[in-house]
């Protein structure tokens, strides 16, 4: 009987502690784009992109962007 009560309390405590951590897992919002290739390093704030483009950007996403004056650069959203 005592074993059943103890197992029940442990299960309830486990569920109570896990729920906020599961519910609080939200994806990070991107804050900018960093492009680097050799000596050409550029960082763009997210506000310089159109709203349609911002909706598709995810943190960690990689792309090759052709920047005027620099050429194609390897970029990553951060």
Query: Is the pLDDT at 36 greater than 60, yes or no?
Result: yes
The band of 61, judged by pLDDT with boundaries at 50, 70 and 90, is very high
* 5 DSSP 8-state letter: H
Query: Is the pLDDT at 43 greater than 60, yes or no?
Result: yes
pLDDT for 72 equals 84
> pLDDT digit string (tens) for 9-34?
666 766 666 655 555 556 678 899 99
**Mean of pLDDT values over 73-78:** 90
Non-local CB neighbours of 35 within 8 Å, separated by 6+ positions = 41, 42, 43, 44, 65, 67, 70, 73, 74, 75, 76
pLDDT for 15 equals 67
């Amino acid at each position: 009987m005592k074993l059943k009560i103890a197992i029940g309390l442990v299960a309830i405590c486990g569920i109570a502690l896990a729920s906020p951590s599961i519910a609080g897992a939200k994806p990070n919002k991107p804050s900018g784009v960093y492009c680097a290739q050799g000596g050409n390093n550029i960082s763009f704030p997210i506000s310089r992109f159109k709203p349609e483009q911002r909706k598709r950007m995810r943190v960690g996403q990689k792309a090759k962007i052709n920047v005027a004056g620099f050429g194609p650069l390897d970029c990553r959203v951060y």
